[in-house]
């Protein structure tokens, strides 16, 4: 099944792509969101070099660029 990420909000502080509308980011607690973003990075393992380089603290989907 294909899931569209179009229209999803992204946390401006940690770049986490929210699963649903929320008042605050479930990861960092920020209330600053954007619906304009490009690219997606999916972190499957916290042991990955990419997770380390990006400063990601939890597995999940993250925006690469916030417009």
Binned at pLDDT 50, 70 and 90, residue 3 comes out as low
Any domain includes 38: yes
Domain interval for residue 28: 10-66
How many domains does one find in the chain?
A: 1
**Arithmetic mean of pLDDT over the chain:** 90
Domain of 17, CATH number, reads 2.20.28.90
pLDDT digits (tens, 9 = 90+) for 36-55: 999 999 999 989 998 898 88
2, pLDDT greater than 60: no
Q: What is the pLDDT of residue 30?
A: 96
pLDDT digits (tens, 9 = 90+) for 20-30: 888 999 999 99
Burial state string for 3-27 with b = 16 or more CB within 10 A and e = fewer than 16:
eeeeebbbbbebbbbbeeeeeebeb
């Amino acid at each position: 099944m294909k899931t569209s990420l179009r229209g999803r909000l992204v946390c401006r502080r940690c770049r986490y792509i929210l699963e649903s509308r929320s008042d605050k980011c479930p990861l960092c607690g920020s209330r600053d969101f954007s619906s304009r973003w490009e690219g997606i990075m999916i972190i499957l393992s916290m042991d990955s070099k990419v997770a380390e380089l990006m400063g990601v603290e939890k597995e999940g989907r993250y925006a690469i660029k916030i417009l």
